[in-house]
Amino acid sequence: MNLDELVQEDRVHRSIYLDPAIFDAEMERIFHRTWVFVGHESEVPQPGDYRTVRIGRQPLILSRHTDGSLHVLLNRCMHRGALVCRAERGNTTAFRCMYHGWVYDTQGRLIGVPFPGGYGPDFRLEDYGLRKVPRVASYRGFVFASLAPEGPDLLEYLGQAKDYLDLILDAAPEGTITVRSGVEKYHFPANWKLQIENLLDGYHPNFTHQIAFEIAEERKGASGRKANSEGSGALTRSFPGGHAVLDYRQTNRGYRAGDRRWAAYRERLVQRLGEKRAEEVLTADIQLFIFPNLFFQNARQHYRVVIPRGPELTEVQAFPYTLDGAPEELNRQQVQSLSWWASPAAFGQPDDLEAFVRVQEGLYGEAAPWVLFSRGLHREKRLPGGEVVGDITDEVPQRGIYRAWKEWMSRGE
């Protein structure tokens, strides 16, 4: 695999979306080595709570043990390899394999085997516990795991993206969020990277979502059309490591600022954060991507996890969250906004899914092997610390993602 022939400064080769061997390498070199988000602490608040997740192809369980500790366990029986937990989430005192009845507690210890005498005197339960992910770390309730035993710690990995995550989470008067409002799921028959590129693409909305914007203007008197126009003042930002931001703060789209209904909410933020920081939070309108597959949109109060299922199959899970201490009406309004725009049958999301399918089919055209990401390359600004900034319609984030993609992929050669 010659990565220089696959990823260039302003383009990538179509094969990175099609080739099963490249997909396999992505799972091994990117998902199995980076820090990958596996869940929020509020999803498993009580002892015995769990949810099943994936890192790449690896099936995992995020569980809360009886002592309150969090564990990320390989969801694979140590006997014959069956999943020990099939449910997406729940509460249990133990995980029992349905095949031969081996039983594990919520921190992964093997605590029971039917007819143990059949294994002889040297068989020890403590040798056959569920395997644990080598590294687990949490930042402000967001739990990340890494299958790599060594590497940068989580804060080092997040880098400058942490500042924008703080900006999103500081909108909660209590400084925390709760993720228990359900999940929107959708699948599409195309490569996972198309969704990543799209989430950070300020160039497409005025065209792909033209009808949705017209409906929004009729219903609400405003849409995102102007903010996603060249020269609007909105910016794209790329950071080392592949993290990126769409930054609409210069377009006055702050969705909480100036609304009299939220006066008490604003005052609570001022008390906790101070006037300056509270104003920064209230006027924030950003979309944050944490490489390789976690995306936040604070204006619709949700995050999405992009889950590769194959070279041409992707699952996306969108989780609305509530701001702890914020007015119930504000939280409800933002969750409804997500349903209006980003659910599988909403006004915006189906447009994107149609685009992904058309791109995936078009990539089979062998005579045109390159996908272009050159927009704004001549005018982007490189700042100290590795940040790159461009117009909202520029492909700054996409170029940054593929720099990181190439770097991680090269480590396995």
CATH, residue 333: 3.90.380.10
CA 352, chain centre distance (Å): 17
> Has residue 278 got a pLDDT over 60?
yes
CB 87 within 8 A of CB 75: no
Looking at residue 231, its pLDDT comes to 77
Looking at residue 305, its pLDDT comes to 98
Q: Do 207 and 81 reside in the same domain of the chain?
A: no
C-alpha span between 52 and 305 (Å, rounded): 14
Q: Do 94 and 220 reside in the same domain of the chain?
A: no
Structural domain includes residue 221: yes
Q: Stretch 93-97: mean pLDDT, rounded?
A: 98
Query: Of 86, 111, 140, which residue sits at a domain end?
Result: 140
SS3 state of residue 255: coil
pLDDT tens digits along 367-377: 999 999 999 99
> Has residue 182 got a pLDDT over 70?
yes
Q: Do 95 and 206 reside in the same domain of the chain?
A: no
CB 311 within 8 A of CB 191: yes
> Has residue 412 got a pLDDT over 80?
no
Q: What are phi and psi of 113, to 5 degrees?
A: -135, 125
118: number of Cβ within 10 Å:
8
Q: Stretch 91-102: mean pLDDT, rounded?
A: 98
C-alpha span between 135 and 143 (Å, rounded): 11
DSSP 8-state secondary structure symbol assigned to residue 127: G
Q: Do 53 and 102 reside in the same domain of the chain?
A: yes
pLDDT band at 257; cut points 50, 70, 90: low
Alpha-helix runs per DSSP H in 170-290 = 192-199, 205-208, 210-220, 263-273, 275-282
Helix axes 396-410, 192-199, angle to 10 degrees: 140
Positive or negative: CA dihedral 254, 255, 257, 259: positive
C-alpha span between 300 and 181 (Å, rounded): 13
Please classify residue 231 by burial: count the beta carbons closer than 10 Å to its beta carbon, then call 0-12 exposed, 13-18 middle and 19+ buried.
Answer: exposed
| Domain total of the chain | 2
**Domain, as residue range, for 223:** 160-410
C-alpha span between 314 and 304 (Å, rounded): 13
Helix, strand, coil % (nearest 5) of the chain?
A: 35, 25, 40
Structural domain includes residue 101: yes
Structural domain includes residue 1: no
First to last CA, the chain: 8
Q: Stretch 99-123: mean pLDDT, rounded?
A: 97
Return the structure tokens found at 128: 């056959």
Structural domain includes residue 155: no
C-alpha span between 272 and 275 (Å, rounded): 9
- Which residues are CB-contacts of 380 (< 8 A; sequence separation ≥ 6)? 388, 389, 390, 394, 396
C-alpha span between 158 and 35 (Å, rounded): 9
Q: What are phi and psi of 210, to 5 degrees?
A: -55, -45
Starting at the edge strand found earlier in the chain, the sheet holding 95-96 runs 95-96, 103-104, 110-112
Q: Do 197 and 65 reside in the same domain of the chain?
A: no
Looking at residue 104, its pLDDT comes to 99
Query: Of 78, 109, 140, which residue sits at a domain end?
Result: 140
Structural domain includes residue 117: yes
> Average pLDDT over the chain, rounded to whole?
93
Least confident piece of the model among 31-45, 76-90, 192-206 = 192-206
Q: Do 308 and 203 reside in the same domain of the chain?
A: yes
C-alpha span between 237 and 376 (Å, rounded): 12
Q: Do 118 and 207 reside in the same domain of the chain?
A: no
Positive or negative: CA dihedral 142, 185, 292, 243: negative
Q: Stretch 123-132: mean pLDDT, rounded?
A: 97
Structural domain includes residue 331: yes
Q: What is the pTM of this model?
A: 0.94
Q: Do 124 and 253 reside in the same domain of the chain?
A: no
Q: Do 236 and 349 reside in the same domain of the chain?
A: yes
C-alpha span between 398 and 198 (Å, rounded): 9
Q: Stretch 257-266: mean pLDDT, rounded?
A: 76
Q: Do 357 and 291 reside in the same domain of the chain?
A: yes
pLDDT band at 206; cut points 50, 70, 90: confident
Q: Do 219 and 134 reside in the same domain of the chain?
A: no
Q: What is the CATH number of the domain that holds 109?
A: 2.102.10.10
Starting at the edge strand found earlier in the chain, the sheet holding 370-372 runs 7-8, 11-13, 370-372
Structural domain includes residue 104: yes
SS3 state of residue 33: coil
Q: What DSSP assignment string belongs to 129-174?
A: PPPBPSEEEEETTEEEEESSSSS--HHHHHTTHHHHHHHHHTTSTT
Structural domain includes residue 149: no
Q: What DSSP assignment string belongs to 76-113?
A: S-TTT---S--SSEEE-S-EE-TTT--EE-TTS-EEE-
Could you give the percent of the chain with pLDDT greater than 90? Answer: 80
Q: Do 177 and 129 reside in the same domain of the chain?
A: no
Q: Where are the beta strands (DSSP E) in 250-333?
A: 286-290, 294-297, 302-310, 313-320, 322-323
